[in-house]
A and B are shown apart, each in its own frame.
Chain A
């Protein structure tokens, strides 16, 4: 089985092709440049080097969120376009799970931390039984103290990874009561190779979707929608219209 995987959920842009037990190619760039411009040329590069026939792929996997909203949509739209054009199924890998799979086989708890801004992290808690990933706490957007507390309760040694590590390193030193370490440079950011390898298991379990069905899982509402819900709650039962106006709007359209 051959899987193409894409991950553009964060600063890293990564594409990989995995065939069964072999990583045929992986191209990972952790440098500020728009994924919109780099992603397909990266795929083209590895496809050329490995003489990849796109029609030989069994599925297209994509890190489906959480992450940068725009980054997620670049990966998703690319996967959806490839899926539509090649008539191949998609595999939606939760970003945090894919990140955890970088450390497949470790006997510690694995806790990816992605900087979610607004004082939150996208995180989850995972453990491995052989190469099988066990989800102890599904991916979520929470305060760093909350995930630290859950890890302390579990009482096992933890390994952290992700772009949230440099942001929360000092806080973790204060919060953590169990032994913890950090993953090294070659394993601590999104890798499409891990997404593809995990996707193999998803496909075997029948967890695929059509290109049409696929959409990112942002774990967060758009700001305007959140604010509207808050206002609706606050003004529930009142007869005046507090919803007129609001922040972040662009009056009119381009038509």
Chain B
């Protein structure tokens, strides 16, 4: 008999609560999303111009059961049909992470289901497996979000080597800060992306930072400060600011650096596949620039759809599947690890 037929389908319930989205999903064999429920708190945090950890944690506990039940119902599944529970245990806001971790452990314990803790960034990377059935490691991946900017080599499922990282602000953080400075509010990424379409990306020359001797590393505090200085300068001189030009020029500066460093690594490592992941990966300018850069080099370019770029549990289910297949199991003492490093395994 064909070995494939003997292989049973694996269904994983995944839970994600590392920041301001309460999410649960059921994923089949790591690639097929049967449900993907996200309860976003973004409207609540807008009042504060950013995510307030205590408020995020409180919302998670109010929503988590509803989100899990909805994920199971949508997938037409009960806990009896599951093979494992996957949960994000870091990095993220500790109080927020703890809600998902405690809930996942309790369900796992009560139903005797294996527990698989997942690194949030490995989740983002794995979002690429869901819509790209042909994508398999090794490949190079740029993870860009509000909390992270990592250029990584994905050697195998769940085996990630960091090539470059940001020395200060994450790319998404710079978007948020600039958005606030030009009065766009939170979250900044989508708002800058939209406004930039009306502006001239060559209007203002913002710096493209390079880290000496570390060609794959990033720094975004400089470009952020340059924008703030530019705005101050205009104010002092009484000049009117063209916000669309600022948004477009800032965005171009950030994207140029992300593309250049990524392609530098693509060349050095001779990879044939390149992927992006994380919230900033839904930025239309970045996507287009990466697509063109990959096309020029005749390498395959992968990216998740916007819904799978933001925090979600389907990506956690995808990552959990490959960990599960490798035999990774976590115990009832699994803790939230807010500063969990990529490549660190418990």
Contact = CB atoms under 8 A, between A and B. Distances in A.
Interface of A: 34, 36-41, 43-44, 54, 69-70, 73-74, 76-86, 211-212, 215-216, 218, 222-225, 228, 243-246, 248-255
Interface in B81-101: 91-95, 98-101
Given A215-B61, A254-B311, A73 B110 contact: no
Given A250-B53, A254-B148, A228 B98 contact: no
Contact of B106 (A69, A73, A78, A216): A78
Nearest to B62: A215
Contacts of B21: 255
B201 interface: no
B64 interface: yes
B50 interface: yes
Contact of A36 (B79, B98, B109): B98
Most buried by B among A81, A83, A211, A245: A81
Interface stretch (B205-213, B252-260, B267-275, B329-337): B329-337
A251 B176 contact: yes
Interface residues of B, number: 68
A34 B92 CA distance: 17
Contact of A253 (B104, B187, B309): B187
B80 to A, nearest CB: 11
Contacts of B68: 84
A77 B103 contact: yes
Given A73-B98, A212-B66, A250 B50 contact: yes
A211 B65 contact: yes
Interface string B109-150: 111000000001000000000000000000000000111100
B55 A252 contact: no
A81 B102 contact: yes
25 contacts: A36-B102, A36-B336, A69-B57, A77-B61, A77-B98, A77-B106, A78-B102, A80-B103, A82-B106, A82-B109, A82-B110, A84-B107, A86-B110, A212-B69, A215-B62, A224-B54, A244-B180, A250-B53, A251-B173, A252-B188, A253-B172, A253-B279, A254-B91, A254-B147, A255-B310
Most buried by A among B65, B104, B278: B65
A47 to B, nearest CB: 9
Given A76-B61, A244-B49, A252 B106 contact: no
A251 B92 contact: no
A43 B109 CA distance: 10
Mostly helix, strand, loop or mixed at chain A's interface?
helix
Given A73-B102, A254-B147, 13 more contacts: A37-B334, A74-B102, A77-B64, A77-B101, A81-B104, A84-B107, A222-B55, A228-B48, A246-B48, A251-B146, A252-B50, A255-B278, A255-B279
Given A77-B102, A252-B172, A253-B187, A84 B51 contact: no
Nearest to B147: A254
B34 interface: no
A253 B54 contact: no
A32 B71 CA distance: 36
Most buried by A among B20, B107, B120: B107
A116 B102 CA distance: 24
Nearest to B110: A85
B93 A81 contact: no
Interface in B154-204: 170, 172-173, 175-177, 180, 186-188
Given A36-B101, A36-B335, A255 B172 contact: yes
